[in-house]
Chain A
Amino acid sequence: MVHALISRLLREPLLQFLAIGAMLFALHGLVGRPGTGAPEKIVVSASRIANLGDGFARTWRRPPSEQELQGLIEDYIRDEVFYREGRAAGLDRDDAVIRRRVRQKMEFLAEDMSVPEPNDEQLAAYLASNPERFRTEDHLTFRHVFLSATRRQNTIDSDSNQVASVLARADAAVDAAALGDPFLLGEEFRGVSATKITNQFGERFAKRILAMEEGRWQGPVASGFGQHFVFISERVSGGLPPLDDIRPAVRREWASARRLEAEQKLYASLRERYEIVVEAPREKAAEAASR
């Protein structure tokens, strides 16, 4: 039952709030409160009110009306009351949502401070040591003659031989695609990257045709759809672009690397503040002692 409740609590934020609220209410009724001393004070400061108004304006692009502002203040007070009471009742402890949220904030903290503006030297060095991240892909423009495995189940090999012998003597001017079957995605692909070719025809096909020369019909190349004869008319080879062309991307990757580094560093140095004792589970400890 408790397990079910917890797993449900974890499910959705709204429900969490409702459930926490309900628990608080129940707690309040059960435990009651020692009616001693002056009531605690909740001050809604002018700057807090201004801030609530700002939040509204950021959502609605206009300041709140008097009534809306009153609603925001009331809601803030309600928040504060529940929050304080909940903390007093210890509901923030051992709550996985709250713990993870706090941890996340700490990790963000490190990230936030890890990213000063890099200079060109740093970026150039990063680019030089991580060239594979920035290399641009080969791009091809090609046409194909498609022999459909679905349409030519038993004759695809003999058809393929015939097409091959015709194409061996054909040149670019021949509209060879008419020799084959219609292909839903078309007969010509212009300036497509290696990735795109892989996406549309599969990896084996892409590898084969990326290795082919331009200017003549070649094939057959198999794909998941059937066989293809390919005429590559243009190839733009990929390479490592100069920093000036890809500065934003290098900056992004550099920052991302720094972010990871900073997080690890922060964790390492915070961990140093603790003496960590991991106790063996009871059964194991007993087992070890009895040995």
Chain B
Amino acid sequence: MSLTRELIEIMGALMMLRLSSISGAARALVCATSVFATSVSAEDHTTDIGTLDKETADKAFPTKPPYSPYAGRYFPTRPYFGDTHTHTSYSMDAGAFGARLGPKDAYRFAKGEEVIASSGQRAKLSRPLDFMVVADHSDGMGFFPQLIGGDPGLLATPQGRRWYDEINSGKGAEAAIDIITSFGRGQMPKGFPTPGTPAYRSAWRETIKAAEEANEPGRFTAFIGYEWTSNAGGNNLHRNIIWRDNGAKASLVEPFTTLPPLGSPNPRDLWKWMAMVEEKTGAEILALAHNGNLSNGRMFPIIESFNGKRIDREYAENRTRWEPLYEATQMKGDGETHPFLSPNDEFASFERWDKGNLDLTEIKKPEMLEFEYVRSAFKNGLKMEAELGVNPYKFGLVGSTDAHTGLAAVEEDNFFGKTSSSEPSAGRAMHPFVKTDKAVIMGWETTASGYAAVWAMENTREAIFDAMKRRETYATTGPRMAVRFFGGWDFEAADANDRMPARVGYTKGVPMGGDLSSAPTGKSPTFLVAALKDPIGANLDRIQVIKGWVGKDGLTQERVYDVAVSGGRKIDADGRSRTAVGSTVDVANATWTNTIGAGEMITVWKDPDFDPALRAFYYVRVIEIPTPRWTAYDAKYFGVKMPAEAAMTTTERAYTSPIWYTP
């Protein structure tokens, strides 16, 4: 077959071309991975290499190609992007700020429809989201009477009958006026539900209804959920609760509130309630906390703020059982780490909100920081696991918006702000967001972030929820980049060139959120790491692996490794590339170009400093090249001058759930 022969020739030519013309970024990868390959080849496990080589060869010229190499795959192939944290007008504070959009509108917007924002502007996402949780505050969800339900007692009265008929014949507005007038005069028919009676309509039921209507398995997932807004002393301990199930199960209970005696601000009581819900309604639910940065040392405690005692095993077990995820980035700042905690990490100072607690009634002290950020929580979790036998802080990562506008819009050039009063306007950056006599957080400090990415089998409540439970998730600050992270003992350089990295990843290792244990003698953990930029977004600067561990001395440690860098930069022997990627941002015009950075990166990395006796975790951070921050787009669009201290560029990023190593 001449075609086949020609293919072989062309293939060969292309391979040569590929190697000779390979970009700087790829060259760096090759360098990094070839070093690694040498170390691997010294080891004795040739089976996988042999198999892979044969597969690679076979795949180029299969005599009988399978109809679909993807048939029969049982692993997730696409990340789904969503928001686990959108507030609507049903949240009392959102309503107070002028939010007009309810859950139904929030879901429509997430599905890509154009809506009219509360400020009267037209709003649309660049691309629809795949899933969303409308998470309104649990406290203050009660509303007012269910006016028509065909209640026989009510229908027996002439007034009730008349209203019912009017409503059913489309004259609802007339009936409404009549009802309001009658209310005002105290002339309500007997049996008409008054506030406080069981027929009293609850926003919870409306929330459920909106999710049920918006949910379209396979196309868009609308989760049922709410936010338990524990705010004791102004310190943020908020958690969002998500149901795996449909409305039939979710409507069997009312949300747990934070005000005693019915509710409680203590997470231990929330967990009790969650256990009750699963036991009595058969539902499956999970909780994810957010904004430890505004908790003033209370989000990831070693000493519990509610009783002043050391975290015990019961706390650890419950926390890890009910809270598989944490929202690491959102509009009220980024929560990965802090320069005080990670002084050797030049990317640590990112969208910091570290002036105080949520309402700025208490100023931040440096010693609080350790108990507020993701990385230090992962580290302390390892230490506590050694002590309690359970790691309370073994959670995966997502980002979400915490928009109080009903609009999950966090792209830098399409940022609809935190509250309806901070929707796009010329002055929004200059208005204080919170202001007390102690400190002020300005509007420009609001972060246009983030989204949750989930490697689920399909776009359904069940599949996405299950992926969240197994922590196969990552956080992004807004861009929809695809990030893969697998850990195992046998990844080798060639795996980075496999045609189906995911298949190799799942075959030889565990995905993000997973566990490694019992290290084979003489082996170190290896990782397959890859990232693909947002199709309409900026190129990538670098991929990093962040390792944390507990040393022999019992002290926690952390280290950042650059594992893939773009533009042919060098990774030094210490695993760092200290040359910055540069910047193409034109702040005045709010533009940038993809002339630096890389569109994609893939590599295999091996921990060069592994001690099988020590607990450790590894997670991936992907950094984009610098791009204009929302403040730059605002300045350009509205023709305003931003305050000198306002950041005008940003480096968007993604954080994966860790892979933990337990001896």
At the interface, is chain A mostly helix, strand, loop or mixed? helix
Assess whether A290 is interfacial by the CB under 8 Å rule: no
- What string of 1s and 0s marks CB contacts (under 8 Å) between B342-365 and chain A? 000000000000000011100000
* Complex CA distance for A248 and B81, rounded to whole angstroms: 25
Asked whether A14 and B231 contact (CB < 8 A) given A150-B26, A199-B128, the answer is yes
Assess whether B387 is interfacial by the CB under 8 Å rule: no
The answer to whether B59 touches A186, judged by C-beta atoms less than 8 angstroms apart, is no
CB distance from A227 to the nearest CB of B (A): 12
List residues of chain A with CB within 8 A of the CB of B176: 109-110, 113, 262, 266
A4 (CB) vs chain B CBs: closest residue: B435
* Complex CA distance for A247 and B481, rounded to whole angstroms: 36
Assess whether A238 is interfacial by the CB under 8 Å rule: no
Stretch of A31-39, A54-62, A83-91, A208-216 on the interface side:
A54-62
Q: Which residues, 531 to 565 on B, are CB-close (under 8 Å) to A?
A: 531-537
List residues of chain A with CB within 8 A of the CB of B231: 12, 14-15
* Complex CA distance for A183 and B173, rounded to whole angstroms: 56
Asked whether A225 and B532 contact (CB < 8 A) given A10-B93, A13-B137, A166-B10, the answer is yes
Assess whether A270 is interfacial by the CB under 8 Å rule: yes
Q: Which residues, 1 to 20 on B, are CB-close (under 8 Å) to A?
A: 3, 6-7, 10-11, 13-14, 17-18
* Complex CA distance for A199 and B125, rounded to whole angstroms: 11
B56 (CB) vs chain A CBs: closest residue: A178
* Complex CA distance for A179 and B146, rounded to whole angstroms: 64
* Complex CA distance for A11 and B198, rounded to whole angstroms: 31
CB distance from A143 to the nearest CB of B (A): 9
* Complex CA distance for A85 and B640, rounded to whole angstroms: 47
Identify which of B147, B213, B499 contacts A178 (C-beta below 8 A): B499
The answer to whether A109 touches B144, judged by C-beta atoms less than 8 angstroms apart, is yes
The answer to whether B104 touches A256, judged by C-beta atoms less than 8 angstroms apart, is yes
List residues of chain A with CB within 8 A of the CB of B139: 13-14
Asked whether A51 and B196 contact (CB < 8 A) given A175-B62, A199-B480, the answer is yes
Q: Which residues, 78 to 124 on B, are CB-close (under 8 Å) to A?
A: 78, 81, 89, 92-93, 95-98, 104, 112
Stretch of A22-30, A123-131, A153-161, A281-289 on the interface side:
A153-161
The answer to whether A153 touches B23, judged by C-beta atoms less than 8 angstroms apart, is yes
Assess whether B143 is interfacial by the CB under 8 Å rule: yes
Identify which of A61, A101, A186 contacts B280 (C-beta below 8 A): A61
Identify which of A51, A71, A113, A186 contacts B70 (C-beta below 8 A): A186
* Complex CA distance for A48 and B196, rounded to whole angstroms: 7
Assess whether B498 is interfacial by the CB under 8 Å rule: yes
Identify which of A12, A61, A113, A225 contacts B93 (C-beta below 8 A): A12
- What string of 1s and 0s marks CB contacts (under 8 Å) between A143-167 and chain B? 0000011111111001100110010
The answer to whether A178 touches B59, judged by C-beta atoms less than 8 angstroms apart, is yes
Total interface residues on A, CB under 8 Å, equals 96
- What string of 1s and 0s marks CB contacts (under 8 Å) between B433-448 and chain A? 0111100000000000
* Complex CA distance for A225 and B535, rounded to whole angstroms: 7
* Complex CA distance for A3 and B530, rounded to whole angstroms: 50
List residues of chain B with CB within 8 A of the CB of A175: 59-62, 65
List residues of chain A with CB within 8 A of the CB of B257: 59
List residues of chain B with CB within 8 A of the CB of A72: 261-262
List residues of chain B with CB within 8 A of the CB of A198: 127
Pick from B14, B137, B533 the residue with the most CB of A within 10 Å.
Answer: B14
Identify which of B198, B261, B359, B536 contacts A75 (C-beta below 8 A): B261
The answer to whether A7 touches B273, judged by C-beta atoms less than 8 angstroms apart, is no
List residues of chain B with CB within 8 A of the CB of A55: 254, 262
The answer to whether B10 touches A162, judged by C-beta atoms less than 8 angstroms apart, is yes
B566 (CB) vs chain A CBs: closest residue: A150
CB distance from A149 to the nearest CB of B (A): 5
List residues of chain B with CB within 8 A of the CB of A54: 198
Pick from A256, A258, A262 the residue with the most CB of B within 10 Å.
Answer: A262
A181 (CB) vs chain B CBs: closest residue: B18
Assess whether B500 is interfacial by the CB under 8 Å rule: yes
Identify which of B13, B112, B172, B260 contacts A262 (C-beta below 8 A): B172
List residues of chain B with CB within 8 A of the CB of A241: none
B256 (CB) vs chain A CBs: closest residue: A59
Stretch of B45-53, B464-472, B515-523, B598-606 on the interface side:
B598-606
The answer to whether A269 touches B78, judged by C-beta atoms less than 8 angstroms apart, is no
The answer to whether B69 touches A224, judged by C-beta atoms less than 8 angstroms apart, is no
CB distance from B57 to the nearest CB of A (A): 10
The answer to whether A51 touches B532, judged by C-beta atoms less than 8 angstroms apart, is no
CB distance from B134 to the nearest CB of A (A): 16
Pick from B81, B196, B198, B530 the residue with the most CB of A within 10 Å.
Answer: B196
The answer to whether A186 touches B77, judged by C-beta atoms less than 8 angstroms apart, is yes
Assess whether B175 is interfacial by the CB under 8 Å rule: yes
List residues of chain A with CB within 8 A of the CB of B89: 104
CB distance from B85 to the nearest CB of A (A): 16
List residues of chain A with CB within 8 A of the CB of B437: 1, 4
Asked whether A184 and B499 contact (CB < 8 A) given A58-B253, A113-B175, the answer is no
CB distance from A141 to the nearest CB of B (A): 9
The answer to whether B140 touches A13, judged by C-beta atoms less than 8 angstroms apart, is yes
* Complex CA distance for A110 and B176, rounded to whole angstroms: 6
Asked whether A225 and B533 contact (CB < 8 A) given A59-B257, A60-B273, A110-B176, the answer is yes
Q: Which residues, 610 to 630 on B, are CB-close (under 8 Å) to A?
A: none
Identify which of A14, A199, A226 contacts B229 (C-beta below 8 A): A14
Assess whether A135 is interfacial by the CB under 8 Å rule: no
CB distance from A17 to the nearest CB of B (A): 8
Assess whether B168 is interfacial by the CB under 8 Å rule: yes
List residues of chain B with CB within 8 A of the CB of A10: 93, 96-97
Q: Which residues, 138 to 186 on B, are CB-close (under 8 Å) to A?
A: 139-140, 143-144, 146-148, 163, 167-170, 172-177, 179-180
Asked whether A113 and B167 contact (CB < 8 A) given A97-B96, A101-B95, the answer is yes
The answer to whether A11 touches B59, judged by C-beta atoms less than 8 angstroms apart, is no
The answer to whether B148 touches A113, judged by C-beta atoms less than 8 angstroms apart, is yes
List residues of chain B with CB within 8 A of the CB of A110: 172-173, 176
List residues of chain A with CB within 8 A of the CB of B92: 13, 16, 97, 101
The answer to whether A11 touches B359, judged by C-beta atoms less than 8 angstroms apart, is yes
* Complex CA distance for A114 and B177, rounded to whole angstroms: 12
A60 (CB) vs chain B CBs: closest residue: B276
Assess whether B430 is interfacial by the CB under 8 Å rule: no
The answer to whether B536 touches A112, judged by C-beta atoms less than 8 angstroms apart, is no
CB distance from B354 to the nearest CB of A (A): 18
List residues of chain B with CB within 8 A of the CB of A158: 17
Assess whether B259 is interfacial by the CB under 8 Å rule: yes
List residues of chain A with CB within 8 A of the CB of B59: 175, 178
* Complex CA distance for A227 and B58, rounded to whole angstroms: 24
CB distance from B217 to the nearest CB of A (A): 13
Assess whether A63 is interfacial by the CB under 8 Å rule: no
List residues of chain B with CB within 8 A of the CB of A7: 432, 434-435
Assess whether B255 is interfacial by the CB under 8 Å rule: yes
List residues of chain A with CB within 8 A of the CB of B175: 113
Q: A60-B276, A179-B14 are in contact. List 9 more A-B contacts (CB 8 A).
A: A59-B255, A71-B260, A113-B179, A155-B17, A158-B17, A159-B17, A199-B480, A224-B534, A225-B535
3 tightest A-B CB contacts, nearest first:
A113-B172, A71-B261, A265-B173
* 17 A-B contact pairs sorted by A residue (CB < 8 Å): A12-B234, A12-B359, A100-B95, A110-B173, A110-B176, A113-B148, A116-B170, A117-B168, A150-B601, A162-B10, A173-B65, A177-B499, A182-B602, A184-B482, A202-B535, A202-B536, A265-B173
Binding site for B on A (CB under 8 A): 1, 3-4, 7-8, 10-17, 47-48, 51, 54-56, 58-61, 68, 71-72, 74-75, 96-97, 100-101, 104-106, 108-110, 112-117, 148-155, 158-159, 162-163, 166, 169-170, 173-175, 177-179, 181-188, 190, 193, 195, 198-203, 205, 223-226, 248, 252, 256, 258, 262, 265-266, 269-270
